[in-house]
Structures are given as structure tokens and as C-alpha cells.
Amino acid sequence: MRRVRRPARSLALATSLLAGTLAPSAGATHLAPGALAEAAHRVGFHVGAAIDHDLDAARREIAAREFTSATLENSLKWGPLSPAPGVYDFSRADAVIDWAEPSGLRVRGHTLFWDRLNGTPGWLADEVAAAPDPAAHLRQRMETHAQTVVGRYAGRLSQWDVVNEPLAALRGDLDPLNLFVQTLGESYLDIAFRAAHAADPDAELFLNETLVELLPAKFEGLIALVERMLARGVPIHGVGLQGHFLLAPPDPFALRSQLERIAALGLRVELTEVDIPISLFASAPDPLAAQAQAYGDLFEACVSVRACTGITTWGVDDGHTWLDSFFLTQQNAPNRPLLFDASGQPKPAYDAAVAALALRIIDVDVDVAPGDPGYRINPSSRGVVAVAILGADGFDVFDIVPATLGFGPAGAPLAHAHGPHYEDVNEDGRTDLLAHYRTQQTGLSAGDPDACVSGRTVDGLAFAGCDRGSVVERSTASP
Ligand code: 9MR
């Protein structure tokens, strides 16, 4: 058995930042430049920013240093891309993508089909209305558009928001004002995703929706829609929750449960357009610290769900945000909703995001293996649980404090079954270290709802995991 002792890494700082006790003042981060991207890279997570074609060099420099992902804010929308039928101008999109790639950024394509604002060219509705068979005409236009745009960048854009905002603004039904819905009904989503998949079979295809974080009924509509698409075999790989928290800061518990609902469908999920305006915290004693808490909550909700693979803020810094010109929010300008202030300095929210990313590295995997003769346990009397703490860096089973381990609803103590540790090569070809513990409980079986383990690491991180087959459980930071 290989015993690897990786360098100890303290989470105390991260935890106290999340608790707000060390929140620095604006622009006074103690973190090194690039800490955000570094923290994300370390745990295989993406932090992104929306980038427009005319974003200035100073902001691009911040983006390249601090983020791992870029979303095209406007340049790939059908309206700006195609001024007349069959005419495409890729110059703005090319400029962003040609900058992002050598900057080492993952690029998200945004967005193929969106019928609000400038998402669809004006000529399309006129053309569809005049067509002898409007449905056939629109379908053909959509397929050509997907082939032209997704095909052009095939292999370069790893994710696409194939369809944006299909639902009514404040409800869970399809948007009755949407040209695609009016002409093709729900089948427009199938056409869109199938055409995008044909144009780039390797791209991860997302359905991106807004305001669902604040509207539970709309979220249910989204889930039902995605379930129907999956039942029809539509190639959808992820759901994007935009995360424009214009009315209230994120509720971390509700958000996490939404992320888990999407994960349970077997899909990825990302927070794709996040902004949390400072006006939400106007009455707080320290609005920047309160905003940092909200960002910390948001990041923690996502990093604690394995299927949640990225968070993108809708802009780089507070000097350049759509909220300052949006009719509902412009009276609050400056809205200051992002991780960097208008002079490009990291805000307390930045530190909170970095701290929360550190929590990603703990995953607890609990497997019940009753009676497996390989474990040399009497199958009729005792259970065995294998506990693995998996992480890209920093923590493993050696970090468990054995005396803190508890099993089942009563938190019964666990002792090493044999071992103390062994290596296991997982499905990704990565070697995990596991530890087996013996319970006094009889009659255990795989997936037993009571087969839960909790404990603490030497760094004071509380963790908990249950046997759910192959699903990896979350961990929580200790208070
Ligand atoms: O931030 C974008 C702004 O510059 C554009 O004028 C606007 C219309 O195209 O779109 C904004 O981004 C939207 C995104 O594409 C979809 N979700 C809502 C975003 C804010 O309106």
C-alpha cells in the first residue's frame, strides 16, 4: 500500500472568511493576483466572466488572470451576428474567441436561440410570417443557423447555451410571446439541440434560464421541460441557471436543492450569468461584507454539488455591467454587482469566492459492503463501510480524525475494519485512498438510508456522506 502524505493545508482562513470574521475592506485582499483562477483550477472548477467584443484591454487582462472561462456576452447572438437573411458577420465573435483561447480560457457559446431583445434578428419574424409553411421555414432556418454557427467553432467552444429563456418571464410555461414557441411549440427545443449536436457532437449543450432561483414555480416548469426533453432522447447535457439576483440575494439552501434536482436528472449545471447588486445590502452595516457573504453562499452551494461545474459572473468588474443601463436597475447605478470594483480591484466577494472554492476538494464517498468476503468480516453479524475522502489536492483519508467518526442516525462509533487504508483505482483512472470501518450494525445493505458517516478532518472540516450507490456526498465546513 502506498501511503501518501500531502502537505497540510489549513481551511481555518477560508472558514473564517466565510463566517465574515476576516472580511477585508474593498481592494485590500490578502490574496495573490490570480488566486481565483488558481483556486478553481486546483479543484477542476470553472469561474467565468461575460466578455463583450469591445471590452478594453485592462479588463481583458483581469479576465485572463482571474477567470478560467469566458462567455460571449453578445457577439454570438443571432441578431448581431446576422444583419440580413443568410448574411453572417463573425468578426466580433472571432475577436473574442481568438483572444480567449490563447488566454487559456474555456469558452462558452451564448446563445443560439433566444427570442428576447436582440437575440433574434428582426427579419426572421417577418420572413416566417410570410412563408407558406411557417413551421417548415423556421425549422430550416434554425438548422442552417446551428450548422453555420456551432459548426464554425466546432471543437473550440466547449459549452453552448443552445436555447436561452424558453419559459415565460415569470412563469413555468413556455413563453407565449416567443416566435419559436408560437411557430413550432415545444418541438423547437428538440430541433435546436439536435441541430447543435449534429454540428458539434463534442460540445456540451445547455438550456439556459433566468429568474428560476427566485421563482419556485418557474423552476418546476424548467425541470418538467427538461424531463420531457430527456424522455424524447434530446441531446441536452446541462442546465444553466443565470443567477441574476436582482430582487434578493441567493438563498443557499434553496439554491443547492435546485442544483441537486438538476444533478439528479444526470445533467451538469452551471450558474451562468451571476450578478448580486450592492443595493440589496443597502441597510447592512457593511454592504461589501454582506455582498461577500452572498457570493460565498452562492459559491458554496455550487461547489458542494459535484454536477455543478462552474460559475460565471455577468461581466468582469463593477465599471462595466448591464445592470447600470437596464431599465429596472439603472436607477440604482452604480449597481456594483461583481467580484471586482470599477478600478479592477478585487472586492471582499472575491475573497469569499476563493474561500468557498476550497471546500470543493472534499467529497465523501461512503459505500456499504456487508458480508464481502474480501473484507474478512462475518457477513451475518456486522457491516463494513468504506469511507473515501476524494479531492484534487490536500485531503484524504489520513486527514480523518478517527475518534470523530459516527455512523448511522445515532452516530455510533466506528473502528477500522482492517487496513488501515488501501488504494482504489476509480473509473477515471485516478487512485483514491479509502479506509474501511466496521459498524456494530447488522443487516446493512448497499443504499441503506441509514448508512451515513460523519466526522471531522484534522483541519476541522466537518464532513458527512451516505451510501447512495455511486453518488458522492457533500461536505460542510465546520463553524
Ligand atoms: O448583457 C447583455 C447586454 O449587453 C445586452 O444588451 C442584452 C441584450 O442582448 O443582453 C444582455 O445579456 C443577457 C443575456 O444574454 C441573457 N440573459 C439576460 C442577460 C441580461 O439581459
- Give the Å distance between the CA of 323 and the centre of ligand 1: 10
Of all helices (H) and strands (E), which one includes residue 227? helix 216-231
The 10 Å Cβ neighbour count of residue 61 is 13
Task: Decide: 117 in ligand 1 pocket, CB within 6 A.
Answer: yes
CA distance 126 to 179: 11
The 10 Å Cβ neighbour count of residue 361 is 23
pLDDT in tens, 196-239: 999 999 999 999 999 999 999 999 999 999 999 999 999 999 99
Residue nearest atom 5 in ligand 1 by C-alpha distance: 74
pLDDT in tens, 260-293: 999 999 999 999 999 999 999 999 999 999 999 9
If you average pLDDT over residues 141-146, what whole number do you get? Answer: 98
Of the two residues 147 and 443, the one the predictor is more confident about is: 147
Ligand 1 atom index nearest CA of 210: 17
The amino acid present at 457, given as its one-letter code, is T
pLDDT in tens, 298-318: 999 998 787 899 999 999 999
Ligand 1 pocket test, candidate residues 54, 73, 112, 244, most atoms within 8 A of CB? 73
Active site residues: 165, 273
Question: Which residues, other chains included, contact 222 with Cβ-Cβ below 8 Å and sequence gap of 6+?
Answer: 167, 172, 207, 209, 212, 239
CATH classification code of 11-358: 3.20.20.80
The 10 Å Cβ neighbour count of residue 356 is 25
- Give the Å distance between the CA of 74 and the centre of ligand 1: 7
If you average pLDDT over residues 333-339, what whole number do you get? Answer: 98
The amino acid present at 21, given as its one-letter code, is T
Residue nearest atom 21 in ligand 1 by C-alpha distance: 322
pLDDT of 307 reads 85
At residue 339, φ and ψ (nearest 5 deg) are -85, -15
CA distance 181 to 174: 7
Task: Decide: 74 in ligand 1 pocket, CB within 6 A.
Answer: yes
pLDDT in tens, 397-414: 666 787 888 887 788 887
pLDDT of 20 reads 28
Triad 233, 239, 245: Cα angle to 5° = 155
- Give the Å distance between the CA of 73 and the centre of ligand 1: 7
Task: Decide: 161 in ligand 1 pocket, CB within 6 A.
Answer: no
Q: What confidence category does residue 30 fall into, taking pLDDT thresholds of 50, 70 and 90?
A: confident
Bridge partners, 313 (sequence order) = 49, 274
The amino acid present at 42, given as its one-letter code, is R
Cell numbers found for residue 437 = 470501518
Query: Would you list the domain boundaries of the chain?
Result: 11-358, 363-474
pLDDT of 276 reads 98
CA distance 42 to 261: 26
CA distance 472 to 27: 37
CA distance 308 to 305: 5
If you average pLDDT over residues 186-192, what whole number do you get? Answer: 98
Ligand 1 atom index nearest CA of 80: 9
Given a contact cutoff of 8 angstroms between Cβ atoms, the answer to whether 317 and 340 are in contact is: yes
Given a contact cutoff of 8 angstroms between Cβ atoms, the answer to whether 314 and 321 are in contact is: yes
The amino acid present at 217, given as its one-letter code, is A
Question: What percentage of the chain carries pLDDT values higher than 70?
Answer: 75
pLDDT value at 12 more than 50: no
- Give the Å distance between the CA of 253 and the centre of ligand 1: 27
